[in-house]
Amino acid sequence: MKQLPPSQRRVSLVAWRGEPAAATRLIPEETAIALTYGRVTQAVMMATPADLEDFAIGFSLTEGIVGAASEIEEITQVVDENGIELRMEVAGARMDALLRRRRFLTGATGCGLCGMESLAEAARSVPRVSSGIAFAAPTLVTLPAALGARQLLNQATHAVHAAGFWSEGEGLLLVREDVGRHNALDKLAGAIACRDLDAGVGVLVLTSRVSVEMVQKAAMLGVPLVIAVSAPTSLALRTAEKAGITLVGVARQDGFEVFTHPSRIGLEVAADVG
C-alpha cells in the first residue's frame, strides 16, 4: 500500500523584492479525498492529507451520516495515484438510511455545499444548542491569536485555515488545519468525538469567514459559541439565531462583534441583534 503524501512540500521559486533571487517555500499539499461508506462514494473533497481519521469521523458526524463515532465500525485509508480513499463501514441501519438519501459531492477547496441534490438539503434544519454556559469577553478576545500561535502548518506555508476548540479551565485543547475551512472544522469535530469531549461547554474558533455550512456543522457538534476573524453571511446569522448559537465575528485584538445570542457573553446591548 502506498504511503500518505506529506502535508507540505518545499518548492523552488523566483522571489522578487526589488530584484529577482532564487528562493524556496513550503506549500501545503492538496489532494483528492474520497469518503466512502460500504464502498459507495458519498463525497470527494480536496483536502490536506493529515488527520484523515479525524476528517472521516468529523465529516460523518457533521453531515448527519452517523449520530456517534462508535457507529463507524471501521476506517481504512487507501492511497493511489489519484488520491486517497477513506473507506468506512457503518452500522447497517445507518448504511440503509445513507443509501436512501445518497448524494454525490465533488468539492473544490473550501466548497461546502456543491453538488447537493435539492435546495431543501442545503437549508437543512439543525439541532438547537441549549447550553446556558457563559463566557468572559476579555477571554474571548484572546482566542484568535491563541489559535494563530498553534497553526504550525500555516506558519510554515501561510496558506491554510484552522479550527480550534477552547474550553474554560482547559484552554485551547485542539487545533486542526487544512486548505479547506470546512475540512479543518470536520477534522476538529472528529478529534473532539474521538476524545469524548463535551462540545457544549466550549468555543469554536475559526480563521475563516462564517458561511451557513460552518454554522450547521457547529450546531451538529452542539457548540454554543463560534468566534471568527471574519463577519458571517446573512444566512449564517439567521441559522445561528435559530440554532441557539452565539455568533461572534470580526474578532481582533481590540474587540469583536456579537451577532446572535449575546447573553452568553453577558453584554448589555441597546439594539436588537437578533
Distance CA 35, CA 107 (A): 12
Distance CA 11, CA 9 (A): 6
Residues annotated as catalytic are: 111
The gap from C-alpha 225 to its chain's centroid, in whole angstroms, comes to 14
The gap from C-alpha 113 to its chain's centroid, in whole angstroms, comes to 13
Residues 6+ apart with CB under 8 A from 128: 219, 242, 243, 244
Distance CA 13, CA 23 (A): 5
- Do the beta carbons of residue 30 and residue 46 sit within 8 Å? yes
